[in-house]
A and B are shown apart, each in its own frame.
Chain A
Amino acid sequence: QVQLMQSGAEVKKPGASVKVSCKASGYPFTTHHMHWVRQVPGQGLEWMGIIKSRRGGTIYAEKFQGRVTMTRDTSTSTDYMELSRLRSEDTAIYYCARDFEWSLDTWGQGTLVTVSS
């Protein structure tokens, strides 16, 4: 079955960067785009961006432009989301989610990133 397995929790200091991975299985990896979404504890979902299926083109939410980089390794069916210049407000659960019919049909389990000095 379709599965997205994300990397484990991270603790980072302000100003550092974090790179979260999302390994896909159960479907042809290059046939679907991948979204990244975050959720600050106790708050709503926030769309961060999308990496396109084949050529790896990206679209980032305006809020994160300049700080986020999404990449894809087709040899290992893994997508990555790197967020730089971290601040305390970036403490959140980060999710990858497969694109399907302009929606997000399968989600990873989430990766908690804590930013603290």
Chain B
Amino acid sequence: QSALTQPASVSGSPGQSITISCTGTNSDVGGYNHVSWFQQHPGKAPKLILYEVSHRPSGMSNRFSASKSGNTASLTISGLQAEDEADYYCISYTSSDSWVFGGGTKLTVL
């Protein structure tokens, strides 16, 4: 199972919005709504920020939103803040009854 495709890096200024894409195939992202997004700060464990494409865990900021179209899922962070600077990963369930991560995207807040 090949990793899902994410841009290696994105950047934005405080207050702006950014979008990170996550592209897979009909056998993973395109075939199921079981797509999640994680935020990981250096030296920390990943943190779930969205699941089932667009559901936010309890207490998660509504500045984080996501959607899916075809084989591509997208994470949008609005009102960028310095604390949003981190690595972001998508994951999808697959037709092999397994899960596959994206390669990760480093977000820089300018």
Contacts and interface: CB of A to CB of B under 8 A. Distances in A.
Contacts, number: 66
Interface residues of A, number: 24
Given A35-B99, A47-B101, A103 B48 contact: yes
B101 A46 contact: yes
12 contacts: A37-B101, A45-B101, A49-B98, A50-B99, A59-B98, A62-B98, A97-B46, A100-B51, A102-B34, A103-B34, A108-B45, A109-B45
Interface of B: 1, 3, 32, 34, 36, 38, 40, 45-48, 51-52, 55, 57, 89, 91, 93, 96-104
Interface of A: 35, 37, 44-47, 49-50, 59, 61-62, 95, 97, 100-110
